């Protein structure tokens, strides 16, 4: 039996992946918050809170200013980070 060869348009594939990632984040974000805590961001990106703190400290993820000691990360930034397609650790390696 001959193998099946499928040609996939890279742009279409990128759109499918982007839609799937966005749907997964939206499914996990049940509250509809504009910004989330470090712990919630870790759940949404499927990594540890320590990794999120390193992303914030490294300037990869922005925070909401003037929140005192509480660190809040805008959902828009989390979605953009997820859409970039890199794992959180990969983003840290590229930022250094």
Question: Using 50, 70 and 90 to split pLDDT, how confident is the model at 93?
Answer: very low
Q: What distance in Å separates the CA atoms of residue 56 and residue 72, rounded to the nearest whole number?
A: 10
φ, ψ of residue 53 to 5 degrees: the values are: -60, -40
Report the SS3 class of residue 38. helix
d(CA 71, CA 62): 10
Q: Which domains does the chain carry?
A: 32-95 (1.10.1660)
pLDDT digits (tens, 9 = 90+) for 4-59: 555 667 777 777 777 777 777 666 655 577 899 999 999 888 889 999 999 999 99
**The total number of residues written for the chain in this structure:** 96
> With contact defined as beta carbons under 8 Å apart, do 79 and 34 qualify?
no
pLDDT tens for each residue of 26-35: 666 555 778 9
pTM higher than the cut 0.85:
no
């Amino acid at each position: 039996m001959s193998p099946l060869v499928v040609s996939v348009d890279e742009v279409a594939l990128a759109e499918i992946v982007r839609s799937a990632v966005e749907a997964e984040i939206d499914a996990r974000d049940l509250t509809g918050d504009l910004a989330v805590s470090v712990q919630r961001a870790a759940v949404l990106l499927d990594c540890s809170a320590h990794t999120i703190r390193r992303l914030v400290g490294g300037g990869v993820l922005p925070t909401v200013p003037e929140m005192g000691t509480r660190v809040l990360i805008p959902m828009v930034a989390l979605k953009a980070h997820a859409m970039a397609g890199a794992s959180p650790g990969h983003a840290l390696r590229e930022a250094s």
